């Protein structure tokens, strides 16, 4: 599903969090929203999800105007930095939860959960509780749980932000692998340029609520459009 963001703005009080953003996220791509803290990345993600309503502009998903549609009708899966798993449920029960509340058959749930655990490389850990997992494993359970209900669009807000560098690197590989298999349109918020460069098909660089540049990692690295973009990618010798 493609996502088309047309001239979207959002202010909180007198603070312009998102300022006339235009962005076309193509179907099946993994796109990173990259920028410093406070630049409006999470707000844009929440606007796409329908957790916020824009002051101006339009959001189209797969061509359909979704600007004022509720969260449930958008077919979107969301993973946050601190994604709370149900502590009293096993990994398998956590992943199954969304399917069960949708009244999927027991047979389907069983098959689908095993498929998802394979996909996030957690086969064999289905009977564990969240407290028996590492932080990286928990985020992979969160991903599996979100993917269980086949979202049209996957939104990730700094999902690996709270983890240490080594685990983050593993999770990047894991997300890339996952994306190649599932190919759901994915929008990924990060303030880590390395993460964006390594993961994304395209990067949108945010600064003060505006998109400064959109392009492939190579485009942006080789041809930064503004001094801000250049500085964000560090000094080039």
Q: Is 146 in the site for Mg ion (CB under 5 A)?
A: no
Residue 68 binds which entry of Mg ion, ligand ADP, none, CB below 5-8 Å type-dependent: none
H or E element that contains 42: helix 41-49
**8, 21, 25, 43: which one binds ligand ADP (CB under 6 A):** 43
H or E element that contains 170: helix 165-182
The full length of the chain comes to 237
Say if CB 113 and CB 126 are below 8 A apart: yes
Q: Is 42 in the site for Mg ion (CB under 5 A)?
A: yes
C-alpha–C-alpha distance, residues 107 and 206, integer Å: 45
**12, 68, 86, 108: which one binds ligand ADP (CB under 6 A):** 12
Name which of 91 and 205 has its Cβ closer to ligand ADP: 205
Say if CB 144 and CB 118 are below 8 A apart: no
**7, 15, 68, 222: which one binds ligand ADP (CB under 6 A):** 15
Sequential DSSP letters for 112-135: HHHHHHHHTT-TT-TT--GGGS-H
Q: Which span sits near ligand ADP by CB under 6 A: 9-17, 58-66, 72-80, 97-105?
A: 9-17
Beta bridge partners of 154: 77, 186
In the complex, what is the shortest distance from the CB of residue 173 to ligand ADP, in angstroms, rounded to a whole number? 24
Total site size for Mg ion, rule CB under 5 A:
1
CB atoms closer than 10 angstroms to residue 203: 27
Applying CB under 5 A, which residues contact Mg ion?
Answer: 42
Applying CB under 6 A, which residues contact ligand ADP?
Answer: 12, 15, 17, 35, 37-43
């Amino acid at each position: 599903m493609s996502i088309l963001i047309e001239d979207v703005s959002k202010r909180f009080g007198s603070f312009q969090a998102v300022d006339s953003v235009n962005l076309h996220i193509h179907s099946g791509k993994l796109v990173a929203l990259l920028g410093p803290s406070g630049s409006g990345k999470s707000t844009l993600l929440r606007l796409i999800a329908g957790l916020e309503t824009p002051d101006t502009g339009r959001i189209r998903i797969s061509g359909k105007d979704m600007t004022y549609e509720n969260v449930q009708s958008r077919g979107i899966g969301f993973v946050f930095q601190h994604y709370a798993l149900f502590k009293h449920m096993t990994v398998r029960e956590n992943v199954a939860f969304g399917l069960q509340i949708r009244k999927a058959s027991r047979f389907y749930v069983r098959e689908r959960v095993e498929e998802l655990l394979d996909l996030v490389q957690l086969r064999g850990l289905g009977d564990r509780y969240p407290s028996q997992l590492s932080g990286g494993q928990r985020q992979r359970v969160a991903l599996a749980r979100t993917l269980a209900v086949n979202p049209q669009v996957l939104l990730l807000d700094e999902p690996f932000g709270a983890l240490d560098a080594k685990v983050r690197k593993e999770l990047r590989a894991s997300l890339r692998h996952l994306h190649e298999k599932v190919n759901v349109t994915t929008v990924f918020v990060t303030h880590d340029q390395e993460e964006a460069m390594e993961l994304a098909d395209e990067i949108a660089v945010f600064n003060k609520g505006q998109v400064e540049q959109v392009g492939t990692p190579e485009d942006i690295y080789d041809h930064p459009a503004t001094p801000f973009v250049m500085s964000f990618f560090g000094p080039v010798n």
